[in-house]
Structure 1
C-alpha cells in the first residue's frame, strides 16, 4: 500500500489504482478530432447537411469536448446519437442504422491501429512505474473496445504493470454497472476502501462513487481544453483535481 499525494490532498493506505484510459493515460484529442470529422463527412456524403448535427451530437467543434460522446461515450452511444441525427433528417431507422454502421467502420479503418495515434500523456508512464514500485496494484478501465485497450498497453510496453486491463466487450460488464467494479476489486484482490480511481469524466466519478472507493483524482489537462469534472455532486469521498499526472507523488507505506 501507499500514500498518494496531490498538491491539495493525501490519499492514505491505497492498495490499488484504477485508471481511465483516454484523456487520462492516453492523449486522444487529436485522434478523436480526426475520427469525428471523418465520421461526419462520410455521413454527410450520403445525407447532405447532416454533418453539423452529427458533429454537435458527438461533442465535436473546433476542438473535442472532453465531456462529449466522442470523448467519454461508448461506441454504442456514439452510434445511437448519429442514427438519431439521420432519422431527424428524414432517413428510415434501418437505413440510418446501416449508414452509420458503415461510416463508422470506414472511419475506424482509416485510423487503424489506434494506439500509435494515442501515446501516453506526459507523466503517465513514470507514474505507472512509480506506483508499481511502491507495490500498488494497477488496472485500466475504459469505454474503448477491448482490442484497443489491449493494443495500447502492449504498444507502450505497459503490460507487466497492470493486473486488470478492461475495455468494452460483450462478455464483460461496462464500468457504469455495479458488476464492473465488483469484478475489478476481485481481480485485483482489494477492497473498495483501498481503491483510488483516476479519470477525467463524470463516468469515472460515478465509478468511484458507486464502488465506495477511498478517493478520486480528476485529470483536467488531457484535452485541448480543460475537462470540467464535478466531483462533489456524485462522490462524497476524498477527491482532488490535477492538471497533469506529474502532480501525483507516491510514498510507499511502511509495514
Structure 2
C-alpha cells in the first residue's frame, strides 16, 4: 500500500473511491447549467397550461442557490440535486405539477420531456470542468499503484460520458452508478461493489466526496478514511456540512501520495 498524505496526517491506502459531481468535476458548471435549463423549460411548460409556480419555490425544489438574475451559483451539498438520483429529481418536479392540478401521468410526462430538453442542451455545451489539481493527483495515484473507482448518484452511462468529456475515464478501473445497486448513497452498496471490482477490502479504501452522504456511505461500508472536499465554495458554513468526515480539504493540492516505508 501507499501513503495518502493530508493536512491531518498520513494514511495507508490501496484504493480511492471518488464521488463524481462536485468531487471530480465542478458541480455548478455542469449541474447548475443543466438545472437552469430543466427548471426554465418546466416553468414554461406549466405556463403554457395556465399554471404558475412562485419563483421563491425554485431554490427549495432541488437545493440550488440563485442570484438576482435567477442563475444558479451554488448548491446545497446535502440537498436533492447533490444527493438524489435522476428519478428523485423527476419525482420532485412531478409532485409539483400534481399539486398544481395536473394528473400524475401528465405531470410525469411533462417532467421527462423537460429533462430530455435539458439533457440535449448539456450534450451540446458539455460544461464539464475538473476540480483544481485533480489530474495531477490522479497521475500521482497511478504512479504509486493506487486503484481508482467512481461511485456516483448519477446513472452509470451518464457518468462514463462526463468522465470521457474531461478525458479522465482511463484513470478509473470501475465506474459505479446508482443504477447498478439496489440502494444508493448513503447506503454502502456502491462502495462495496466498487471494492469488489477493485479486489480490495473496504478498510484499505479512501472515499472522497463533496456531501455528507458520501461520508455516511464510507462509514457504512467500513472505509478506512472519509474525506470531504469543499472545492471553490465560499460558504462559511461548509465545515459544518461534513459531520461524518474524517478529514476536510478544499482542494486536491492538499493531498499527496507517497511510498509506504517498508
TM-score, normalised to structure 2, is: 0.86
Matches within 5 A, 1:182-221: 182-221=192-231
Tell me, in whole angstroms, the C-alpha distance in 2 between the residues paired with 1:71 and 1:113.
22
Partner of 2:254: 247
Select between 32-41 and 203-212 the one with higher mean Cα deviation.
Answer: 32-41
Matches within 5 A, 1:84-163: 84-112=95-123, 116-163=126-173
Closer, same or farther in 2 for the Cα pair 1:204/1:174, shift >3 Å? same
Tell me, in whole angstroms, the C-alpha distance in 2 between the residues paired with 1:191 and 1:119.
31
User: How far off is 1:252 after superposition?
Assistant: 1.6
1:57 and 2:56 aligned: no
Extract unaligned runs of 5+ from structure 1: none
Closer, same or farther in 2 for the Cα pair 1:245/1:113, shift >3 Å? farther
Matches within 5 A, 1:2-41: 2-11=2-11, 13-41=12-40
Closer, same or farther in 2 for the Cα pair 1:65/1:247, shift >3 Å? same
Structure 1 residues 201-223: Cα deviation after superposition (integer angstroms, max 9, x where no partner)? 12201211111111111001254
Tell me, in whole angstroms, the C-alpha distance in 2 between the residues paired with 1:175 and 1:141.
9
Closer, same or farther in 2 for the Cα pair 1:15/1:175, shift >3 Å? farther
TM-score, normalised to structure 1, is: 0.88
Partner of 2:69: none
Tell me, in whole angstroms, the C-alpha distance in 1 between the residues paired with 2:259 and 2:21.
27
Tell me, in whole angstroms, the C-alpha distance in 1 between the residues paired with 2:210 and 2:240.
7
Extract unaligned runs of 5+ from structure 2: 67-72
User: How far off is 1:156 after superposition?
Assistant: 3.1
Tell me, in whole angstroms, the C-alpha distance in 1 between the residues paired with 2:228 and 2:255.
11
Closer, same or farther in 2 for the Cα pair 1:42/1:231, shift >3 Å? closer
Select between 130-139 and 179-188 the one with higher mean Cα deviation.
Answer: 179-188
Tell me, in whole angstroms, the C-alpha distance in 2 between the residues paired with 1:136 and 1:254.
15
Tell me, in whole angstroms, the C-alpha distance in 2 between the residues paired with 1:240 and 1:65.
21
SS at match of 1:61: strand
Tell me, in whole angstroms, the C-alpha distance in 1 between the residues paired with 2:34 and 2:169.
26
Partner of 1:80: 91
State the number of aligned residues. 248
Tell me, in whole angstroms, the C-alpha distance in 2 between the residues paired with 1:151 and 1:247.
28
Structure 1 residues 18-69: Cα deviation after superposition (integer angstroms, max 9, x where no partner)? 0011101101313322222222221212223226334421112322313222
